[in-house]
Amino acid sequence: MNDPAQRLTEATRRRDHPNLRPRDAATLIIVDASGKKPKVLMGRRHERHSFMPGKFVFPGGRVDPADVRLTVPEELHPAVGRKLLVDMKRRPSPSRARGLALAAVRETYEETGLVIGTPGSGGIATRSPAWRDFLSHGCLPSLSPLRFITRAITPPRRNRRYDTRFFCVGAEAIAHRVETGSQELLDLHWLTFAEALKLDLPSITEVVLEELEARLRASGLPQPEAPVPYYFMSNGRFRRDLI
């Protein structure tokens, strides 16, 4: 893999939008390693979206206040929680770290109908319609299998800016599947890495795919303590640090 930070810098185009503060967001990459070649779930964003229209992406989206307030019986691995707090903007807190992971789980459910969790009911109180719908399937969100694998902040002067944490999880963490009429992601497909990399992808999605494929080849799904690449712009160029 050539220098990913350099590639991201070259792909960046200056925009004339106001310099917005990045919003917390989260993405979940589900890896199905049951076949000869691992596959990941991706979908295409609608052409009417103002942010990355028509691009193929992983399920995900911005953090909702309900994600931060929700408490769950199965927490993040402590190493994952610690890494999420590194350089967290504004007011770092364990609840915000948990909220990032929960946002990835919730958005995945809303966009794909896949419930990442364990069978169970009760013990979780929420007014969020999305979380109530998730819980109605007799499953509780499960955070311990999630691995934090990449962080990336959208460059300045874009019409949307996100501080996105990319998580991955094995497909065995899927507890339930329901039909969904999501308008967020179209053309959902399980794809090998080679197939995915041929699609119309955002630059950061391409980089994350290559990072994850290299890890899977070397040692399987990343361990909680594994270093996390962190991409952000500094002095007009992308940097790749490790958390």
Per the prediction, the chain carries an average pLDDT of 90
Tell me whether residue 194 is in a domain.
Answer: yes
Closest Cα to residue 224, out of 78, 44, 72, 124?
78
Encoding tokens for residue 162? 């996100």
Residue 225 lies inside a defined structural domain of this protein: no
Q: Max alpha carbon distance in the chain (Å)?
A: 50
Q: Is residue 52 included in any domain, yes or no?
A: yes
pLDDT per residue as tens digits for the range 160-183? 899 999 999 999 999 999 876 555
Q: Which residues of 135-169 are buried (b: 16+ CB within 10 A; e: fewer)?
A: bebebbbbbbbbbbbbbbbbbbebeebbbbbbbbb
- Mean pLDDT is lowest, of 66-70, 136-140, 185-189, 237-241, for 185-189
Domain-located, residue 160: yes
Q: What is the pLDDT of residue 62?
A: 95
Condensed to tens digits (0 to 9), the pLDDT of residues 93-143 reads 999 999 999 999 999 999 999 999 999 887 788 999 999 999 999 999 999
Q: Each residue of 58-96: pLDDT tens digit?
A: 999 999 999 999 989 889 999 999 999 999 998 999 999
CATH value at residue 77: 3.90.79.10
Domain span at 34: 4-219
- Would you say 29 and 167 are in contact if contact means Cβ atoms under 8 Å apart? yes
Task: Identify whether the C-beta of residue 141 lies closer than 8 Å to the C-beta of residue 161.
Answer: no
Q: How high is the pLDDT of residue 59? A: 95
User: Residue 226 falls within a domain, yes or no?
Assistant: no
Decide if 201 is inside a domain.
Answer: yes
Cα–Cα distance for residue pair 23/96, rounded to 1 Å: 12
pTM check: above 0.85: yes
The total domain count for the chain is: 1
In a 10 Å sphere around its CB, with 0-12 CB exposed, 13-18 middle and 19+ buried, how is residue 103 labelled?
Answer: buried
Q: What is the pLDDT of residues 38-59, one digit of tens each?
A: 999 999 876 565 555 568 999 9
Checking if the pLDDT of 198 tops 70, the result is yes
